[in-house]
Chain A
Amino acid sequence: EIVLTQSPATLSVSPGERATLSCRASQNLNNFLAWYQKKPGQAPRLLIYDASTRATGIPARFSGSGSGTEFTLTVSSVQSEDFAVYFCQQFHTWPPGNFGQGTKLEIK
């Protein structure tokens, strides 16, 4: 089973700063990785798929990079609405297409 490890567990940044979130896979995923944003009481939202393709309607400040086993989600200038939990998900081996444990992006 592929294991996804997200780091850090919590990332504290000030609005306007850059945020860099990491997702490491236990096996080569090629570029079969997605990122989701989850806010309390809201539906999860797809941000990035195929490691670097922004989903429809996602602001350009969100970008994804990486391939193989190391992936990064970058928020170039964090806005107040970006404070949330972010999950990575692999779909190289699917099902189950498991998710990481999440990184909480919080206000510093």
Chain B
Amino acid sequence: QVHLVESGGGFLKPGGSLRLSCAASGFSFSEEYMSWIRLAPGKGPEWISYISGSGNTQVYSDSVRGRFTISRDNAKNLLYLQMDSLRAEDTAVYYCARDIRIYHFWGQGTLVTVSS
């Protein structure tokens, strides 16, 4: 059974940094692309990044490119999102999801609030 658990969210001021983690289980982690998607209040979900199974390919949305970095540790079945230069508009619940294009499995999310 696929299980994804995010952690690391919090409350911080604009310009701050945060690292989110996603612990994966129930599937062969190193063989699967993984994505980060966020859901801001009153908006639809927004895909922000994906990474290949090997970690060699990372792709970002225009809204986070240059500020966020996706990575993974296949030995520990962990996915990460390093978030730098945070802005108020980054406030959202952040989800990790298995796969790309169609998201069959999601975690429960972790809340990131950026406010002065």
CB within 8 Å of B: which residues of A?
4, 34, 36, 38, 41-46, 49, 55-56, 87, 89, 91, 94-102
The answer to whether the Cβ of B94 comes within 8 Å of any Cβ in the partner chain is no
A84–B59 Cα gap in the complex (Å)? 31
The answer to whether the Cβ of B78 comes within 8 Å of any Cβ in the partner chain is no
**Distance to closest chain B CB from A52 (angstroms):** 13
In the assembled complex, 9 residue pairs joining A and B whose CB atoms fall closer than 8 Å, in A order, are A4-B44, A36-B103, A43-B95, A44-B39, A44-B45, A87-B44, A89-B103, A101-B44, A102-B44
Using a Cβ cutoff of 8 Å, how many contacts connect chains A and B?
Answer: 55
In the bound complex, residues from chain A placing their C-beta under 8 Å from that of B46 are 96, 98-99
Determine whether the beta carbon of A91 is less than 8 Å from that of B101. yes
Determine whether the beta carbon of B47 is less than 8 Å from that of A95. yes
A56–B45 Cα gap in the complex (Å)? 22
The 8 Å CB contact of A99, one of B45, B59, B106, B109, is B45
In the bound complex, residues from chain A placing their C-beta under 8 Å from that of B95 are 43-44
Counting contact residues on chain B (CB < 8 A from A), the size range is 20 to 34
A88–B43 Cα gap in the complex (Å)? 12
**Distance to closest chain A CB from B50 (angstroms):** 7
Determine whether the beta carbon of A100 is less than 8 Å from that of B44. yes
In the bound complex, residues from chain B placing their C-beta under 8 Å from that of A36 are 45, 103
Contact status of A94 and B101, CB under 8 A, knowing A43-B108, A44-B95, A44-B106: yes
Determine whether the beta carbon of A98 is less than 8 Å from that of B47. yes
Determine whether the beta carbon of A34 is less than 8 Å from that of B102. yes
The answer to whether the Cβ of B100 comes within 8 Å of any Cβ in the partner chain is yes
A87–B106 Cα gap in the complex (Å)? 14
A55–B104 Cα gap in the complex (Å)? 8
In the bound complex, residues from chain A placing their C-beta under 8 Å from that of B43 are 101
In the bound complex, residues from chain B placing their C-beta under 8 Å from that of A41 are 108
B11-50 vs A: 1/0 string, CB under 8 Å?
0000000000000000000000000000100011111001
The answer to whether the Cβ of B61 comes within 8 Å of any Cβ in the partner chain is yes
Contact status of A46 and B44, CB under 8 A, knowing A95-B59, A95-B61, A96-B61: no
